[in-house]
Amino acid sequence: MIRSVVRGTGAALPRRIMKNADFEGMVETSDEWIAQRTGIRQRHIAADDETTASLGEAAARAALADAGLTPDDIDLVVLATSTPNNTFPATAVEIQNRLGMRHGFAFDMQAVCSGFVYAMTTADLYIRGGLAKRVLVIGSETFSRILDWSDRSTCVLFGDGAGAVVLEAGDGAGTIADRGVLAASLRSDGSHKEKLFVDGGPSTTGTVGHLRMEGREVFKHAVGMITDVIEATFSAAGITADDLDWFVPHQANKRIIDASAKKLGIAEQKVVVTVDLHGNTSAASVPLALSVAVADGRIKKGDLVLLEAMGGGFTWGAILVRW
């Protein structure tokens, strides 16, 4: 049985770090207010010369180096982003070009904060279907470009960055002991669009627009939706929360992370949290957290790791991986 095995991880962050205190002269807020309500202490903000493509390329190169591979070894690049460099072509194609690839294929995937989970699930299907042997899966965002910096309810929450993994075809016995992607569950419900969206686009306003969010509504739905797909993934794999070694959730809000883990019965010491360092980096959130936990030695070969995310749409999903 073909399994999609994680071969390497990588990350890239903009040079500039913006602390909570830096907002105090911009909007009515404070370090204490932001930290208590979100768990965020800082975020990285892209400079003019740092883009979704440049950050994505840097994360991709880091993942390739970690895997001991080169761009020549990659068949497919899937980029999860809501902040592309251009309306078209796909920013994945630009990253493909930056990597010097003249072979294979590349495309973008847009599922907002759930984008990386969607992209990783899609890459797994391409590998298992025999259309690719090795795939670069990237989440890269420059959400600072679409923030309303006068809106304290949103501008303090988001940051920029990129993370990537290399997935590679491997052999498995078809059991839970196999390395690689073991199960996944994806969902969406467009009736919630107005709760989290950007108020612009090429086909409507002809502008980029700004992020708008009904924070209380998002929070209200988040925990229930997250647990829904995680329980479906557990069921598909035939496991329980006790079997997990690590839970790597979307890094949007510490209170959502804590409430979800508690509802699912996942022990606090198994939860990877980086929201304090990065803020909400949308599709880059999960691979950034993954990269941190792999780099510091927490996630090791053989560990059972659950990834989860929820984003605008709403979209939400979970994927279970044996490292």
- Is residue 155 part of the annotated active site? The answer reads no
Q: Which residue in the list 20, 250, 253, 278 is annotated as catalytic?
A: 250
Q: Known catalytic residue: 221?
A: no
Nearest to 142 by CA among 16, 19, 284: 284
**One of 20, 85, 253, 280 is an active-site residue; which one?**
280
| Helix (H) or strand (E) segment spanning residue 16 | strand 16-19
Which distant-in-sequence residues (6+ apart) come within 8 Å of 34 by Cβ? 20, 23, 40, 156
Q: If you write DSSP's letter for every residue of 210-226 in order, what string do you get?
A: -EEE-HHHHHHHHHHHH
* Amino acid residing at 171: D
Cα 283 to Cα 82: distance, rounded to the nearest angstrom:
8
Instruction: List the strands of the sheet with 76-80, edge to edge.
Output: 2-12, 160-171, 134-142, 76-80, 105-109
Instruction: Name the catalytic one among 44, 85, 113, 253.
Output: 113
Buried b (16+ CB within 10 A) or exposed e, 1-35: ebbbbbbbbbbbbbeeebebeebeeeeebebeebe
| Euclidean distance between CA atoms 267 and 43, whole angstroms | 26
Classify residue 196 as exposed, middle or buried by CB count within 10 Å of its CB (0-12, 13-18, 19+). Answer: buried
| Residue 141, C-beta contacts closer than 8 angstroms, at least 6 positions apart | 52, 81, 82, 83, 160, 161, 162, 281, 282, 283, 284
Residue position matching structure tokens 């309306």: 87
Residues annotated as catalytic are 113, 250, 280
